[in-house]
Amino acid sequence: MINHFGDLLAFVKVADSQSFTQTAERLGMSRSAVGKCIARLEENLAPVWCIAPPVLCV
């Protein structure tokens, strides 16, 4: 399913910092490259999100 560990790492770093710019600087990438990582991750996980049952977060 997820073929790129770097994509997942970029997602975690963006979620942690809430900044594509900070993530790019920390990972030594451009903001565009970070955005492409996130886009690839979304594309790879979209089928999973569509079939997963809804989860109630309490």
The pLDDT tens digits of the residues spanning 29-48 come to 999 999 999 999 888 877 66
CA 5 – CA 1 distance, rounded (Å):
11
| Per-residue pLDDT tens over the stretch 19-34 | 999 999 999 999 999 9
Cβ neighbors of 28 (< 8 A, separation 6 or more) are none
Looking at residue 2, its amino acid is I
Q: Is the pLDDT of residue 14 over 80?
A: yes
Q: Which pTM does this prediction carry?
A: 0.72
- 8-state DSSP, 53: P
Question: Please, what's the largest Cα pairwise distance for the chain?
Answer: 37
Specify the DSSP element, H or E, that contains 2. Answer: none
